[in-house]
Amino acid sequence: AQSVTQPDIHITVSEGASLELRCNYSYGATPYLFWYVQSPGQGLQLLLKYFSGDTLVQGIKGFEAEFKRSQSSFNLRKPSVHWSDAAEYFCAVEEYGGNTPLVFGKGTRLSVIA
Amino acid sequence: DTEVTQTPKHLVMGMTNKKSLKCEQHMGHRAMYWYKQKAKKPPELMFVYSYEKLSINESVPSRFSPECPNSSLLNLHLHALQPEDSALYLCASTGVPGGTGELFFGEGSRLTVL
């Protein structure tokens, strides 16, 4: 079965510092990979997605993620964090061409300090 | 219009009450989802409707009853709930059932069961 691991439950970074959130997946075939962000009390918003092609994908709000098949990873990065980036971040995986819904990781909570 | 609209935003109900959550989208999406999210947890899939037919029920108790009256509307009827059912209920939609694409989420309905 597919699974998604986000090893970091909570990360705190200083405003202006760089950010990397880790995501590892377990799946035999080519997965479709997503990062979603959830601000407190809100729904989830898609930051970016990877289906195929260039393994470095750009998203909204200055985020990017890199798919590394050899490491089964899809880490999210941002070069300079803003206070408004404080939120919960979920990595998710979906089976290629399948009927199975998204599998979410447990999430990483990002705090931003001045 | 790229929105999924959920009403009400907040709902407080007793264990003997009957209430409903409503979800609406006008993006022409043919797959609609209900998720339940507890605090500091990822969303848990409850139901999936594809082309207005229930395609996935993740062993949800019968006190939750979904309904898809048409392709734009998804309801979740609630009856005899328990306090542990208190959570954020998220609706989502996507363009093609079984296809792979972005899930569009509503902002959720926060349910408190007394």
Report helix, strand or coil for A69.
Answer: helix
Is A65 buried (19+), middle (13-18) or exposed (0-12) by CB count in 10 A? buried
Q: In a mutagenesis test of the A interface, which of B34, B90, B103 is the best target, namely the one with the most A β-carbons within 10 Å? A: B103
Cβ distance B100 to A44 less than 8 Å, yes or no, reads: no
Q: In a mutagenesis test of the B interface, which of A5, A102, A109 is the best target, namely the one with the most B β-carbons within 10 Å? A: A102
Beta strands B64-70 and B18-25, pairing class: unpaired
Report helix, strand or coil for A86.
Answer: coil
Print burial letters for B43-65: b (CB count within 10 Å at least 16), e (below 16): bebbbbbbebeeebeeebeeebe
- List the pLDDT tens digit at each of the 114 positions of chain B: 569 999 999 999 998 889 999 999 999 998 999 999 999 899 999 999 999 999 989 999 999 999 999 999 999 999 999 999 999 999 999 886 666 678 899 999 999 999
A5 in contact with B, Cβ within 8 Å: no
